[in-house]
With several copies, the nearest count.
Chain A
């Protein structure tokens, strides 16, 4: 019996953290936020070199064949380092969709290319997770029309994977006719989202998703766990920064960390965040090993982490006093990463409602 990350998982995490520590300083983040994309490209290339693109792709298709827990461990480290790279869409949601929903031929075709990095997916699922502006996606035969509002990881995408409101998922080529790509700007400049306006675009439906929501649900569950893990890592980094700052910064003749008010803020953050590790890992583990609890745990991981990390983001900023508010320390890059994760793939209220319905039915 062992509950926790394996040595391999921790080793991979450490590699990513180390890479980001060396290549993604606050100065670099500042440049990326100012739309200097060459730095983002370097980070993305470095992370891909570590092997994340083939992570979930089965070994028979040239990937590493690892599981969602492994992906969660990586997502956590990307959140920790505010890694400006596609991950959740391109390398988690997309391969899972194809593994679970694709025909043998589709798997052979796309998974191999994901593993070899020839094909990169942007992923649009918000029609299913409570998009505020109606997406009006319509699939007719092999054509798709409508709007997919929040497409993740679009920047380097060669293809897009889109779901309609019924969980019917298909692939479009980024070069196909009829695609209008509108860049969206969010608070978080370390990840990129766009809107796709589609007019009668060629659409290759994943075989198993024509009449079943199952695949879409698995994809969303995995995506939510990744978001939870990303926020976990980001929040942990913010706490670490706050604790370090509280030890160094002096006010009224003493380290601010010796004031009970500051101490207790730090203690409260840790007390809330620490159990989240186990929840995220457990939920990720459940995706493979505990099918009856998999969906519920994914929902609860997403919504609980959204709430806890929102609070951590605020409190850790407060511990930094005025400096927390500036771009000088750059704490806000993590604050905003947590802010984006909270709203993606369903707000906490929406996701908890899903969790409740899972248990009532």
Chain B
């Protein structure tokens, strides 16, 4: 066990700290329409556009580190520890993080691996620079956990894909220039075969985006309807009918990133503060031993998940290290724990805990209720907890798959 950084990384840490200091209080001149962008600090020292900020970060090697220079990246070696240092120092100093989103997190890696030269050149740079926002078109109303059942149809007619159907759960669709999308192009093929991975400009004729209100009362997602939408034949990644494999390369990516462990530690600290401030029968909640015991239980789980994240990080740095099912459990454990934590905060506040939106007496901008519900959504989304348990038991533990069902496809 060695939790220290070597000199190279201690130096890098210093460098990042200096960078953060230099850009302390940086703000953006363009209010980004992308809700995934970090909010900025108050002191108005340096002003840049979001896109300029992306470029500054890339230049430093703080973002898109391993993406080749020719596609707008830094062109270096990937370095997990440096990524971690950047994340930690940026978070500490409240320096705006680079933009995230499905284009950067999922499409760029996919194109790098499977895109044509032309696609790489056309899409990666503007995506990294925050000038091209993407949304993901995988889920459909009748294909939730069962992606292979998707029905949106693409026909190749006169050198164009003609697309008809419907997607759901497309976050950021209303801000996006592009969608990467799974479409059934070979209707005769078996379920997993016959799907292709297409790139669709969102301003194409025949696309309608309808906001999808969820239980938080926000429209965090959308439905997207396609009626005879036409796109060029070349807007396909990988071969016809191989979209399933193309998409799967990035699905794994998503599952790991849903519940970042640093966030939960911040949230736990907020909860502790809340319990010091809120009073019941004249005494701060933190001094009520029953509530405190619930807090301590959650703290134990949070500490375990924090330590576990370190173990996973270490396994990335030391490829010999076996993390067995350690990675597969992250989504299940992380989302359930976060939901539980937010739920305790609600109980801690009592009646105040049910206030919402812009109500008087609201604590922490109503974030506890919002995130409590939002994480119920995450428990379900991106593979429900039930699907996660299937994955853990079958792929992780080698338990036999459910036998094929008579009559099912």
Asked if A and B touch directly (CB within 8 angstroms), the answer is yes
A297 vs B291: C-alpha distance in the bound complex, in angstroms? 20
Which segment of A16-24, A91-99, A318-326 sits at the interface? Answer: A318-326
Which stretch from A54-62, A104-112, A154-162, A266-274 is at the chain B interface? A266-274
Interface size range on B against A: 35 or more
Q: How far is the CA of A278 from the CA of B373 in the complex (A)?
A: 29
Contact residues of B between 134 and 164, Cβ < 8 Å to A = 139, 141-146, 149
Q: In this assembly, does B174 line the interface, its C-beta being within 8 Å of a C-beta of chain A? A: no
**Is B355 engaged at the interface, CB distance under 8 Å to the other chain?**
yes
Contact of A186 with B317 at beta-carbon distance under 8 Å, contacts A274-B329, A277-B311, A356-B292 already known: no
Q: Report whether A133 and B304 are in contact in the complex, using a CB–CB cutoff of 8 Å.
A: no
Min CB–CB distance A284 → chain B (angstroms)? 8
A151 to B219, CA, bound (A): 30
B296–A352 touching, CB < 8 Å: yes
Say whether A3 contacts B311, CB under 8 Å: yes
Using an 8 Å CB-CB cutoff, how does the interface string of A335-361 with B read, 1 for contact, 0 for none?
A: 110011011101111101101100110
Nearest A residue to B356, CB-CB? A187
| A-B contacts, CB under 8 A, total | 296
Are A246 and B308 in contact, with the CB atoms below 8 A?
A: no
Which of A5, A252, A310 has most chain B Cβ within 10 Å?
Answer: A252
| Chain B residues at the A interface, C-beta cutoff of 8 Å | 1-6, 9, 81, 139, 141-146, 149, 168-169, 212-215, 217, 221, 272, 278-282, 286, 288-293, 295-297, 299-301, 303-305, 307-311, 313-315, 317-318, 321, 324-326, 329, 332-333, 339, 343, 346-347, 349-361, 369, 373, 376-377, 379-381, 384-386, 388-390, 392-394, 396-403, 405, 408-409
Q: How far is the CA of A339 from the CA of B6 in the complex (A)?
A: 42
Q: Is the CB of B215 within 8 A of A6?
A: no
B146 engages A251 (CB within 8 Å): yes
Determine whether A141 belongs to the interface, using a CB cutoff of 8 Å to chain B: no
Tell me, in angstroms, the Cα distance from A247 to B311 when the chains sit together.
Answer: 29
Q: Find residues 219-237 in chain A having any chain B CB closer than 8 Å to their own CB.
A: none
Residue of A nearest to B379 (CB): A318
When distances are taken between beta carbons in the complex, the residues of chain A under 8 Å from B315 are 4
Closest chain-A Cβ to B316's Cβ sits at a distance in Å of 10
The CA-CA distance from A328 to B3 in the complex, in Å, is 45
**If the complex has contacts A130-B281, A264-B386, A356-B295, are A271 and B81 also in contact, measured as CB distance less than 8 A?**
no
Q: Do residues A195 and B146 form an inter-chain contact, with CB atoms below 8 A?
A: no
Chain B min CB distance to A222 (Å) = 16
A260 to B392: give the CA distance in the assembly, Å: 12
Expressed in whole angstroms, the minimum distance between the Cβ of A122 and any Cβ of chain B is 15
Which residues from B are CB-within-8-Å of A262?
A: 386, 399
CB–CB A184/B381 < 8 A: no
Query: A343 to B143, alpha carbons, bound, how many Å?
Result: 37
B379 near A349 with CB under 8 A, answer no
Q: Which chain A residues numbered 280 to 324 have a C-beta less than 8 Å away from chain B?
A: 281-282, 285, 289, 297, 300, 303-304, 307, 310, 314, 317-318, 321-324
10 more contacts with CB within 8 A, not counting A4-B318, A250-B142, A340-B354, are A185-B355, A243-B397, A252-B146, A258-B400, A261-B386, A264-B389, A304-B297, A327-B215, A356-B292, A356-B293
A186-B355, A187-B356, A348-B347 are known contacts. Are A297 and B303 too (CB-CB below 8 A)?
yes
Asked if residues A3 and B290 are in contact (CB atoms below 8 Å), the reply is no
Q: Are B351 and A131 in contact (CB under 8 A)?
A: yes
- CB < 8 Å neighbour of B408 from A33, A253, A317, A326: A253
Contact A300 B299, CB 8 Å, known A271-B329, A321-B144: yes
List the 9 shortest-distance A-B pairs measured between CB atoms, nearest first: A332-B215, A304-B300, A253-B408, A278-B307, A3-B314, A185-B359, A275-B308, A267-B389, A263-B393
- On whether A258 and B145 interact (CB within 8 A), knowing A149-B351, A263-B389, A303-B296, the answer reads no
A186 touches B354 (CB 8 A): yes
What 0/1 readout, one digit per residue, does chain A (106-144) give for beta carbons within 8 Å of chain B? 000000000000000000001000111110000000000
B394 surroundings in chain A (CB, below 8 A): 263
Bound form: Cα–Cα A307–B272 in Å: 22
Q: Are A1 and B317 in contact (CB under 8 A)?
A: yes
Query: Could you write out 28 A-B pairs with CB less than 8 Å apart?
Result: A1-B4, A1-B5, A3-B314, A4-B311, A132-B279, A132-B350, A134-B279, A186-B354, A187-B354, A188-B354, A195-B361, A257-B393, A260-B402, A261-B389, A270-B392, A277-B311, A278-B304, A278-B308, A281-B1, A304-B303, A318-B380, A326-B213, A327-B217, A339-B369, A342-B347, A347-B350, A349-B288, A353-B293
**A198 at interface (Cβ–Cβ under 8 A)?**
no
**A174 on interface, CB distance cutoff 8 Å:** no
Cβ distance B329 to chain A, nearest Cβ, rounded Å? 4
The answer on a CB contact under 8 Å between A343 and B380 is no
List, in ascending order, chain A residues with CB within 8 A of B376's CB. 314, 317-318, 325
Residue in chain A with minimal CB distance to B329: A271
B5 surroundings in chain A (CB, below 8 A): 1
Instruction: Tell me, in angstroms, the Cα distance from A183 to B357 when the chains sit together.
Output: 12
Given A304-B300, A327-B215, A350-B280, are A322 and B168 also a contact pair (CB < 8 Å)? yes
Asked if A182 lies at the interface with its beta carbon under 8 angstroms from chain B, I say: yes
With A130-B350, A274-B329, A352-B293 already in contact, the answer to whether A322 and B380 are too (CB < 8 A) is yes
A130 to B401, CA, bound (A): 47
Provide the residues of chain A in CB contact with B339, threshold 8 Å: 314
Is the Cβ of A326 less than 8 Å from the Cβ of B215?
Answer: yes
Q: Chain A residues near B399 (CB, 8 Å)?
A: 243, 246-247, 257-258, 262-263, 266
Query: Contact at B380–A324, with CB atoms within 8 Å?
Result: yes
Q: Does A255 contact B (CB under 8 A)?
A: yes
A318-B321 Cα distance, complex, nearest whole Å: 32
Please state if A304 and B304 are interface contacts (CB–CB under 8 Å): yes
Partner of A186, one of B169, B295, B310, B356: B356
Task: Answer whether residue A254 sits at the interface, using C-beta atoms and an 8 A cutoff.
Answer: yes
Query: In the bound complex, how far is the Cα of B213 from the Cα of A131, in angstroms?
Result: 32
A247 touches B314 (CB 8 A): no
Is B349's CB under 8 angstroms from A132's CB? Answer: yes
A69 interface residue, CB < 8 Å from B? yes
**In contact, A251 and B145 (Cβ under 8 angstroms):** yes
B307–A328 CB distance below 8 A: no
- Find the A residue at minimum CB distance from B295: A356
Q: Decide: A149 near B329, CB < 8 A? Known: A132-B352, A247-B398, A264-B393.
A: no
Q: Within the complex, which residue of A186, A274, A340, A347 is in contact with B308, where a contact is CB–CB below 8 Å?
A: A274
CA distance A306 to B398 in the complex (A): 27
Is there an interface contact between A254 and B214, defined as CB atoms closer than 8 Å?
Answer: no
Contact of A5 among B1, B81, B381 (CB under 8 A): B1
Q: Distance in Å from the Cβ of A125 to the closest Cβ of chain B? A: 11
Residue A150 interfacial (CB < 8 Å): yes
In the docked arrangement, what's the CA distance between A264 and B386, Å? 8
Interface pair A251/B144, CB less than 8 Å apart? yes
Q: Report A311 CB to chain B, min CB distance, Å.
A: 11
In angstroms, Cα B293 to Cα A270, docked, is 24
